[in-house]
Amino acid sequence: MHNTYDYDYDDADNVYKDASTGVLKNLLEISDSEQLLYAESGFVTKRLRELHESPIKVLSSNELLAIHHYLFQDVYAWAGKVRTVELSKGATTFFQTKRFSQGFLYIDNLVSAFLTANIDIKGDSEMLANILDSVNYLHPFREGNGRAQREFIRSLALQKGYTIDLNSFSDTSIMDDYMSGTINGDVNQLTELISRLLVFTAPT
């Protein structure tokens, strides 16, 4: 049975999954899905801590690929590479692979507009919410889209002197609102969430 967060992939050629186990092909040669999830989580958590110390400077969608590669480099050979299979979740069909160049160009324009806009924190929150929603709809990776896009937004916000934590484990409402907003494409909900969490410190 599928739950709210399950994906469907058109991967008949088993580009990403091992045909015999159904587990994602990985550099660790793990053949059990739960063991892979545990190992992946450990490596990515470590890499996220490193990025908090030395963030990747986000200027375009290229850094989304760089962030994904950094986070998943220990686990998947395709870390930082766009998916080659079509992807859906429930009633939502994500961006078609053949149109990725258009999608990334659109993200680039949104990022550029955010970085050059001279508006208040409310306006910046709305722009970040639009970027997050657009990146989520693009869903360019076979796995790890959420973790990569949350770090992408955090690092992008840093460019204008903001801090934001969309990975908080102390407040479950943050992840609940994030999941609801991204799954439903609710930009208003994402704007409210980001405006609640966004804190201005100083430009980098």
Instruction: Give the pLDDT confidence of 148-186 residue by residue, as tens digits.
Output: 999 999 999 999 999 999 988 789 999 999 999 999 999
Nearest to 84 by CA among 140, 146, 148, 38: 140
Q: How far is CA 137 from the centre of its chain?
A: 10
> What average pLDDT score do residues 72-100 get?
93
> What average pLDDT score do residues 73-100 get?
93
Rg (CA), the chain: 17
- At 170 the pLDDT is 83
- At 80-90, the pLDDT tens digits run 999 999 988 77
| CA–CA separation, 143 and 72 (whole Å) | 9
The percentage of residues in the chain with a pLDDT greater than 90, rounded to a whole number, is 84
- At 5-35, the pLDDT tens digits run 456 677 768 889 999 999 999 999 999 999 9
Give the count of beta carbons closer than 10 Å to the beta carbon of residue 192: 15
DSSP structure class, residue 58: P
- At 204 the pLDDT is 57
Q: How far is CA 82 from the centre of its chain?
A: 12
**Which single residue is written with the structure tokens 């692979």?**
97
Global pTM value: 0.94
Q: How far is CA 34 from the centre of its chain?
A: 21
- At 7 the pLDDT is 63
Average pLDDT, the chain: 93
The percentage of residues in the chain with a pLDDT greater than 70, rounded to a whole number, is 95
Q: What is the CATH T-level fold of the domain 8-200, as seen in this structure?
A: Fic-like fold (1.10.3290)
- At 6 the pLDDT is 59
For residues 9 and 93, the answer to whether their CB atoms sit within 8 Å is: no
